[in-house]
């Protein structure tokens, strides 16, 4: 399946949803993705550390089909091989994943590479190595990543000031703290629990009203 072409990454970062099998149970990843897209998600990320490569590829292929129907980009967390195999728009790399520079050599633009960063120095290095957007955080404590280093809204602001590419804030973001995050100048918010815990449609309606 072919990529959707030139992506407006600043727009894509606005309401960036990451379905989660545990947080969003009993809904499947595919069901969560379908509801998130119907509710206005501007990007989806497939992230599941528990799936093997074959399972993840199948999930990515199904999710990509949903994204294409809405003209919304899909990014695969960590697994560059899966992202390339299914034809996803890009990959998102954490700081302990494949180095951005190596990923860029394997996947030239327009394939999109996102990188997780915490500091302006991280941001400069990631952009120099070929990152197209930055995920900055954790902004607040988050149950989805117990070992995440919390940088707070001011940490987001510092990265935004230094960054030359779009920035999406991530980590513990909810409707209650969303205004503080966006006031830091981020292009958008990446959400897990705020989108897929409980009533996904109702969650997405509230997030869309706040962000879109």
Tell me which of 11, 104, 125, 145 is the catalytic residue.
145
- Cα distance between residue 192 and residue 194, in whole Å: 6
- The answer to whether 116 touches 99, Cβ cutoff 8 Å, is no
Tell me which of 14, 34, 79, 116 is the catalytic residue.
116
- The answer to whether 33 touches 44, Cβ cutoff 8 Å, is yes
Has 49 been annotated as catalytic? no
Residue 72's alpha-carbon distances to 1, 15, 88, 144, in angstroms, are 14, 11, 11, 24
- Cα distance between residue 173 and residue 169, in whole Å: 8
3-state secondary structure of 162: helix
Q: Is 171 left (phi over 0), alpha (psi -120 to 50) or beta?
A: left
Residues in the chain: 212
Tell me which of 47, 79, 118, 157 is the catalytic residue.
47
CB atoms closer than 10 angstroms to residue 130:
18
Helix (H) or strand (E) holding 207: helix 200-211
Q: Would you state the structure tokens that stand for residue 132, as one six-digit string?
A: 């197209």
Catalytic residues: 47, 116, 145
């Amino acid at each position: 399946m072919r990529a959707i072409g030139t992506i407006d990454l600043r727009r894509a970062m606005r309401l960036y949803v990451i379905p989660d099998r545990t947080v969003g149970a009993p809904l499947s990843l595919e069901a969560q993705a379908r509801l998130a897209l119907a509710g206005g998600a501007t990007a989806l990320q497939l992230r599941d550390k528990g799936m093997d490569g074959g399972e993840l590829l199948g999930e990515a292929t199904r999710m990509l089909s949903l994204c294409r129907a809405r003209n919304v980009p899909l990014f695969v967390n960590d697994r560059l091989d899966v992202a390339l195999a299914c034809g996803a728009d890009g990959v998102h790399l954490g700081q302990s994943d494949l180095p951005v520079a190596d990923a860029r050599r394997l996947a030239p633009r327009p394939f999109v590479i996102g990188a997780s960063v915490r500091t302006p120095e991280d941001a400069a290095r990631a952009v120099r190595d070929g990152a197209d957007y930055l995920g900055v955080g954790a902004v607040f404590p988050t149950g989805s990543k117990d070992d995440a280093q919390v940088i707070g809204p001011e940490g987001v602001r510092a990265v935004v000031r230094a960054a030359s590419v779009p920035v999406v804030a991530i980590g513990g973001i909810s409707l209650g703290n969303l205004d503080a995050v966006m006031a830091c100048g981020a292009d958008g918010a990446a959400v897990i629990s705020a989108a897929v815990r409980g009533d996904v449609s109702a969650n997405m309606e509230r997030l869309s009203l706040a962000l879109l």
